[in-house]
Each structure stands twice: as structure tokens, then as C-alpha cells.
Amino acid sequence: MKKIKEYIEKNKERFIEELFELIRIPSISSEVEHKPDMYKCAEKWKTILLNAGADKAEVFETEGNPVTYGEKIIDPALPTVLVYGHMDVMPVDPVELWNTKPFEPVIKDGKIWARGADDDKGQCFMHAKAFEYMVQTGNLPCNVKFMIEGEEEIGSSSLPKFCQEHKDLLKADIILVSDTGMIAPDVPSITSGLRGLAYWQVEVTGPCRDLHSGLFGGAVANPINVLAKMIAAMVDDKGHITIPGFYDDVLEVSAAERAKMAEAPFDLEAYKKAICVKELFGEEGYTTNERTGIRPTFDVCGIWGGYTGEGSKTVLPSKAFAKISCRLVPNQDHKKIATLFKQYFESIAPGYVKVEVTPLHGGPAYVCPIDLPAYKAAEKAYADVYGKNPVPFRSGGSIPIIAAFEEILGIKSILMGFGLESDAIHSPNENFPLEQFFNGITTIPLFYKYFAEKK
Amino acid sequence: MKKIKEYIEKNKERFIEELFELIRIPSISSEVEHKPDMYKCAEKWKTILLNAGADKAEVFETEGNPVTYGEKIIDPALPTVLVYGHMDVMPVDPVELWNTKPFEPVIKDGKIWARGADDDKGQCFMHAKAFEYMVQTGNLPCNVKFMIEGEEEIGSSSLPKFCQEHKDLLKADIILVSDTGMIAPDVPSITSGLRGLAYWQVEVTGPCRDLHSGLFGGAVANPINVLAKMIAAMVDDKGHITIPGFYDDVLEVSAAERAKMAEAPFDLEAYKKAICVKELFGEEGYTTNERTGIRPTFDVCGIWGGYTGEGSKTVLPSKAFAKISCRLVPNQDHKKIATLFKQYFESIAPGYVKVEVTPLHGGPAYVCPIDLPAYKAAEKAYADVYGKNPVPFRSGGSIPIIAAFEEILGIKSILMGFGLESDAIHSPNENFPLEQFFNGITTIPLFYKYFAEKK
């Protein structure tokens, strides 16, 4: 570890300047006018990998944005680590809330401030510098491949096909990802699970036109009232989702693992205070972190119908709509859940309305067993750097491509995140502490060391 | 009656063109950018009344939109009829559902198509033309006053004060209003009752900012889910409203009157077919017409919250909103109901959200005894024109100012409506059959004849 830190110290200004060059490219994948920047970024990553020591690097076209691939194969008999990251970033609005320019990175208060400083340029770049260290100092214990895509923020829609078409190229023993967080700067954690997702839009139709709520109110079912009743019926007072069969495939987490999860430091009062609520509500029998980590949910993300403008309009509307999403846990199948929801929603619809359920998108959950050798290697690496074992953390969020990697390539991922909640990813004033950046570069080579030892 | 019909026949093109000029003014009271149109319309009505034969007509300023007053006093010893109507119209959205332009009236299939064609320009204009007929042909049997306001669709909030301040000016024996409907073109009816109204906007707040539905979903109560539960709780499965004390002041209608109401021709299958529903839903123990005529309701007129745009966004929103209205019956007090609702809504709000209830507007119900001399005069007039007595009909709609007239001016109103359900008032493609328009102009002078005879 001493040698890594010395290398970092000697090269840190260059590291930062190289990262800044990457950050300055406004690679916003959801905005069509930045398409040229996606290509610029892909080429930049190719250069980054070759300069770091890759034997070859290539920019692949896809149906969407390009993917940059790089590799250094030292011995086919050795294990292979595949590093996955994304070069695209979130949009920056509302721009007026930024204190600095989103694509002009600056260092202030020990942090890099810019869009992508954490998610995912800062975090992904740690892997490039760790790789450079290992290659330049002759400390590379196994083969390394890099796959950097450009559509993660918009659903990674081209990547499954890319993986399918390049199965041989991408053959590896483990995938390393830094696109998640740690509990706190002094509380290391590894994300050992991600939730899946199923998302629908529903439409409830009563009368075929908006009606006068005086002339018809009381005699004709109001689709908003009906939609409210149907949504209310989906979750009981104990926070349990009532869709028949919904929980059938849920892997119950062992008491032992729940106890380990409970060891993670968590300040309930601070949590409530940060979001300004007096009380929390969720599934009975589970703690706050269990409710987001190991239990599925039912959330209405959007609802609309009738008159929503200024003042009052006495209308009994024809239609009411909702956007509904369920977060899923292993081993729930998002396609099966979509069918169960549709059937149930249609079955509880009373005869005085018609309902339509349109699936929008979905993806399975992901879990990394904490006794996996690669997980153990990562655990040791964090322990060396932080002086304590990382806590296994089940994230409430979803990164659907991680489950797709397992499905298509048959490879598990280790989510070695170094982000912090204060990094404000997806928000204005995104930032990444230099301490996190350098700790990441320090930890990653130690993972490789322990991983190669075990295999 | 023959003479009236001749007069109409001779002047009908002019009548229609004059009405079209009135309709073309987009006098939408709920939209601030149409304020100038309200003034334009008031001046237009002044001209209409003077041209019809009023001795004087004036546009009065109020705290809100102007009121047009006109009169012809032929003999203070004679009875006085006060005609009330409104010049303002409902907004036109969703504009894309209109087959013609809302403020460019056309005649098609024997109907005038435009916003305001029925409600209330077409219907009010019938009174101006009936008045013109009586004045021009020397058939005016009593004094006439006109009061046309510009805020009915937004609650007539300036009119009570206007009435209070002009009690002497508005002195009359009866108020005539055409702003309601008939059961069918060949089934005349007089609206003998109106429902009251109470309207609120509610806001439910969970966390103080929108949250990531992955990181927080399941652990934090979603205000949309909560609002749905609260709305669902307001009405039970038997269609009974659960607000404590809600029904306390409801005047139960006698079995005899319910039997008389039941005599009105009503085709349930046609009713359902016209609004394309397979089944109806309402308060158990009451027929469709009783549910709209003599029972109160709870309707959500609008609901919104979270992400409602295209595609999917995984958000756990900070807020959810609804616009809620209750139709009331005699003798429910709308201010008392507002208090009961607010208290109940706040009491059922769980501790993990904050709720805010903002009353928007309200007004009491109204009933006209069917043995009132003025009612009998109207009954006779309809019988002359239609060959059968009109059915006394308890309307589901509200015109809160009618009850206010009784309270402030001490004058009852006769609701001689000529609208039809197919007129689609408040909806896209509002229309008014020429037959109804001309029958109205025919019936109204006959009312005056019989009313003046009786007094």
C-alpha cells in the first residue's frame, strides 16, 4: 500500500489534470446535441487506456453511443478482471443552481466540482490510474479488460446487444464497477445488492368524455376516485403489497446477514431530518435500510387526471392516469411481476371503468454473495486502506445492466463504490472528494492482488 | 303563441347572427388574460338590451368582472320580473378534442356549436329576444329587469356584494333564469332544485424534496400513495361519504315526492350508452336521478403529483395535490361542510405527511316549491308550447348565486331551462339545438303572460 500511495503522490497533479480533460467533454447522453461529444469522449477513453498501458484499445460503434474497449492480456492462464464504467453524464439543469460551471471542473474544499466528477468519470478514472500504477510498476497480477459505455444514464439500451455480440472478447472472471457509494468517508461499504425495477403506466377510463360533476356526480363512477381506491388497495396498512404472488420469488435474507447489515452505522434522526419528515412508513417488520435494501416496493411515481390548472373546474373526468414502479429484489422476475401486476390491476377494476396497463421498462435485481472470493478480495483491500472491514450494503437503487452482465456473460460484478451521499449525483453541484478519489486508486490494486492470489 | 312564432320566423337569421357576435367574445372568467373580453362582453350585453327595448342599460364595475344591468319599467304597480344570466364561459381545454373552433360558432345538424352556445349565452339570449318580441309587439305585461354577471363559472364571488349594494335597483317579484336543462327535447321539465357546492384544493407533502425512488422507496411514505388512501377512505363501498356529520343536515325527501320524481321518463340504458359506461355506481338505496337530484356527493375533479411527462422517471415525489368538490343538498350548509371536510381530512392524515386544505368556493343548495304562483305560470307556458306539463326536476348542478338571491334579495327563482344533456356544457364540442333556442323564445313570453295574470 505504501508503494501505491507514493506513486499517487508523485503523479497526482497529472492524474487530476487528465481527469479534468475527461470531465470537460459535455457527454450528456440524453441530449441529442451532445452526440459528437459522446464520440469525443470515447476517443478520449481510448487514449487514456493506451497511455495507462493497455496493449490495445478500440472504439466500437453500437446502435446508440460508442463503447470503448481496452485490454492488457499478460497470460491467458491468469484470471481476467473486466472493468465496467460509463462515460456519459446526467443533464445539468437547473443550471442556475450550480455555483460553478458544470463542465469546468475546479477544486474547492478538497473536492472536485463538476458534472461527472463522481458519476461516473471520477470513479471510473480511478480504475485507469490504478491500472497505470500496476502496469508501470510491474505489479499487474492478472489480465485486465475495460468496457466503458455511453448510455448508462439513459438505460444502457445498446449494451446488452454489444455484450451478446462480443461474448468472447468480454470473457472474464469478474466485473469491477465503481458507480455506487460508501456509507461515509470513514465507513467503507461494498454494494452487495441492487434492486430490480418494473415500471408501468395505467389508464382508468370511466365515461367516454369529461362530464359535468353536478349533472352526473353521484350517479357515475369518477375514474380518479376509482384509481385512488385501486392504488390504495395495492398496499395494506402494514406496508405489504397485495398483488397475489408478488412475494413468491423473494429470497428471504438470512437472520445472520440481516444482523450484519444492521451493524452499518445509521442515524435515523439525521435521515428523517435530511428529508424533513417526522415519521417514516414502510413494510412492518423491517428496518429502514432493510426496506430499501432487501424488500420490494410499490410507488406511484406520477398521477394525473381531470382539471389541474388554477382555481376550480367542476368536472367528472373521463380518464385518470398513473405511472407506477415497483423496485424488486432477488429473485423476483421483472417480466413475471409485470404480468402479475397487470392481471391483478385488471381484476380489481370495478365494472364501471375500463383499465389499460402499459409496461414501460424493467430489469432484474442483482446480488453478490458476500462469500464470493472476489467479494472477499475486495473486502480485504478496503480493510487494508480503511483499517476496518467494509459493510455489505444492499442499495435501494437499480443498475439494470449489472444483472444483464450476469445473464448474458455469466459474470458477477463487484460494486466497489467510493461515492458519498454529499456528492449530489444527478443534482446541481455534483462533487467528488479528492480523498475518495485517491483512496479508490489505492484500494483497487489491492483488490487485484488479493483476487489473483485466491484464484 | 302563433304571433310569437311568426315573429321568430321573421327575425331568426338576425337572432342567430346577434347571438354569434356574443359567442365570439372569448369571455373565459377563469383565465386572467381574458379580462378585457369580460368588459367587451358586458358592453355587448348593454347594446343587446338597449336594442331589444330597454329604457336604460348600464355596465357596473364590481371587485371582479362587470355586471350589465338593464330595465324597462312600464308601471311600478305591475309585477317585476328580474332576468338573471351570465356572460362568462368555461375554459375550452382540451382544445384538441373540439371538432370546430370553440369561439367560432357554426350551425351543423340543426345545432349551434361553440363554447357558450348553451351555457349561458344561448339560453340567456333567448330572454333578450323574448323581451324584444314583447316590447316590439306591445305585449309586455309587466316590468322587466336584467342582471347579467361575468363570474358564474368561477363562483359569482362579486355578485352577492353587488346585490347587497343595489337592493332597491334589483327589487322584483321573481327571478327568471335559463341556465339549466330539460329532460329531453319532447319532455319539458322545470328545475325545481339545485345542489350546493363546496370545493377545495388539498396538498399532501411527504419529504421536502423529490427523492430517488430506488434509494428511498419503501422507507419513506410516498405522498401520492398516501393521498390515494385518504381519497379512498372518504367514500365507502356503498357510495356513502364517511366524513363525520356530513349527512346531518340533509333534508330527507318524502316518499311521495320521490314517487313523483320517479314518474319522469328515464331510459337507463340510453343514459349509460350516451356516456359509454357498462355500469353505474352511486349511493346504495337511491336511483340514478335521486343520486344526482337529492343526494350529496364527493368527487375528485383533478389530481396530480410526481412525474407526468413522457416515458418513465423514477421519482418519489415531495408533493401530491387534488381538487375535490362535494355537491350538497338542502339544508346542508356549505361553510359547515367545508369545516367538517377540513377537520376530517386533517384527522385521517397519517403522521408521515403534512396536509393543507384550501377552500376554493362554495354555495348552498336551492329548492323552489312547485305550488309557487310563478312556478305554476311557468308550468302553463311550457304546457302551451309542448302540449304536456313539465316535470319538476331536481338538478344535480349548482348555481350558488340562486340561493344567495333568496338570502340577500328575498326573491325566489324559476329555473326555466332549455338545455339538453347532449349540449355537453363544460366539455369540448358544446352545442345548443336551434329547436331548443326557438322554443325558449316562444315559451318565455307565455310565462310573462301567465305570471302577470296571476299577480
What residue segments make up the domains of chain B, in order of their start?
A: 2-194+365-454, 198-250+296-363
Q: Answer whether B426 sits within 8 Å of A208, measured CB to CB.
A: no
Model confidence pTM above 0.80: yes
Min Cα separation B292/chain A (Å): 6
Domain at A2-194+365-454: CATH code:
3.40.630.10
Give the whole-angstrom CA distance, residue A187 versus residue A423: 15
Q: Answer whether B323 sits within 8 Å of A308, measured CB to CB.
A: yes
Q: Hey, how many other C-beta atoms are within 10 angstroms of the C-beta on B407?
A: 12
Which residue in A213, A271, A286, A291 has the most chain B C-beta atoms within 10 A of its own C-beta, making it the best mutation to test that interface?
A213
B139's grid cell: 305585449
User: So what's the ipTM on this one?
Assistant: 0.86
**A84 half-sphere exposure, CB direction, 13 A CA radius:** 28
DSSP string, A64-116: SS-EEEEEE-S-TTS-EEEEEEE--B----SGGG-SS-TTS-EEETTEEESTT
Q: Hey, how many other C-beta atoms are within 10 angstroms of the C-beta on B17?
A: 10
3-state SS, residue A328: strand
Give the whole-angstrom CA distance, residue B362 versus residue B365: 10
Question: Rg of the Cα trace of chain A?
Answer: 24
Give the whole-angstrom CA distance, residue B301 versus residue B314: 26
Query: Please, is A393 exposed, middle or buried when counting C-beta atoms within 10 Å of its C-beta (0-12, 13-18, 19+)?
Result: buried
Q: Answer whether B299 sits within 8 Å of A316, measured CB to CB.
A: yes
Answer whether B297's CB lies under 8 Å from A217's CB: yes
Min Cα separation B305/chain A (Å): 5
Give the whole-angstrom CA distance, residue B309 versus residue A309: 16
Which residue in B212, B361, B426 has the most chain A C-beta atoms within 10 A of its own C-beta, making it the best mutation to test that interface?
B426
Q: Which residues of B touch A306 (CB under 8 A)?
A: 300-303, 323
DSSP string, B296-344: ---EEEEEEEE--SSS---EE-SEEEEEEEEEE-TT--HHHHHHHHHHH
pLDDT band, residue B155 (cuts 50/70/90): confident
Nearest to B321 by CA among A308, A227, A204, A313: A308
Answer whether A133's CB lies under 8 Å from A441's CB: yes
Please compute the mean of the pLDDT values over residues B401-409 and round it to a whole number.
92
Q: Which residues of A touch B206 (CB under 8 A)?
A: 277
Tell me the per-residue pLDDT of B175-193, one tens digit each, with 9 for 90 and over. Answer: 999 999 998 999 999 999 9
Please compute the mean of the pLDDT values over residues B392-400 and round it to a whole number.
86
Which region among A314-323, B98-107, B325-334, B388-397 has the lowest average model confidence (pLDDT)?
B388-397
- Strands B413-415 and B174-177, by their bridges, are parallel
B35's grid cell: 379580462
Largest CA distance in chain B: 80
Give the whole-angstrom CA distance, residue B131 versus residue B71: 10
Length of chain B: 455
Q: Answer whether A308 sits within 8 Å of B305, measured CB to CB.
A: no
The pLDDT, as a whole number, for residue B123 is 98
Answer whether B87's CB lies under 8 Å from B417's CB: no
Q: Cα dist. B235→B282, B379, B396 in Å?
A: 10, 38, 18
A9's grid cell: 503522490
3-state SS, residue B389: coil
Give the whole-angstrom CA distance, residue A317 versus residue A307: 8
Q: Which residues of A touch B284 (CB under 8 A)?
A: none
The pLDDT, as a whole number, for residue A455 is 59
Q: Cα dist. B278→A213, A220, A352 in Å?
A: 19, 11, 6
Task: Note the helical H segments in B354-417.
Answer: 373-386, 400-409
Q: Answer whether A298 sits within 8 Å of B219, measured CB to CB.
A: no
B439's grid cell: 322554443
Q: Which residues of A touch B90 (CB under 8 A)?
A: 313
Give the whole-angstrom CA distance, residue B278 versus residue A307: 24
Q: What percentage of chain B exceeds 70 in pLDDT? A: 100
Which one of 3.40.50.150, 3.90.1640.20, 3.30.70.360, 3.40.50.10490 gives the CATH number of domain B198-250+296-363? 3.30.70.360
CA-nearest residue to B424 within chain A is A211
Q: At what angle do helices A434-454 and A373-386 cross, to 10 degrees?
A: 140
Q: Is the pLDDT of residue B454 over 80?
A: no
The pLDDT, as a whole number, for residue A389 is 92
Question: How many A×B Cβ pairs under 8 Å?
Answer: 313
Min Cα separation B376/chain A (Å): 25
Q: Answer whether B220 sits within 8 Å of A281, measured CB to CB.
A: yes
Answer whether A234's CB lies under 8 Å from A243's CB: yes
Q: Is the pLDDT of residue B455 over 70?
A: no
Min Cα separation B393/chain A (Å): 12
Which residue in B275, B279, B284 has the most chain A C-beta atoms within 10 A of its own C-beta, making it the best mutation to test that interface?
B275
**A342 half-sphere exposure, CB direction, 13 A CA radius:** 15
Give the whole-angstrom CA distance, residue A306 versus residue A222: 10
Q: Answer whether B325 sits within 8 Å of A213, measured CB to CB.
A: yes
Within A178-289, strands assigned E span 189-194, 196-205, 211-212
pLDDT band, residue B132 (cuts 50/70/90): very high
Helix (H) or strand (E) holding A31: none
- Residues 6 or more apart whose CB falls under 8 angstroms from that of A441 comprise A4, A8, A15, A126, A129, A130, A133
Min Cα separation A302/chain B (Å): 4
Q: What is the mean pLDDT of each run of 10 residues along chain A (455 residues)?
A: 94 98 96 96 98 98 97 97 97 90 98 97 98 97 98 91 97 96 93 93 96 92 98 97 98 87 89 94 96 96 93 90 96 95 97 96 88 94 96 88 94 96 88 98 97 82
Q: Which residues of A touch B306 (CB under 8 A)?
A: 300-303, 323
**A315 half-sphere exposure, CB direction, 13 A CA radius:** 31
The pLDDT, as a whole number, for residue B256 is 82
Nearest to A298 by CA among B350, B222, B310: B222
Please compute the mean of the pLDDT values over residues B401-424 and round it to a whole number.
94
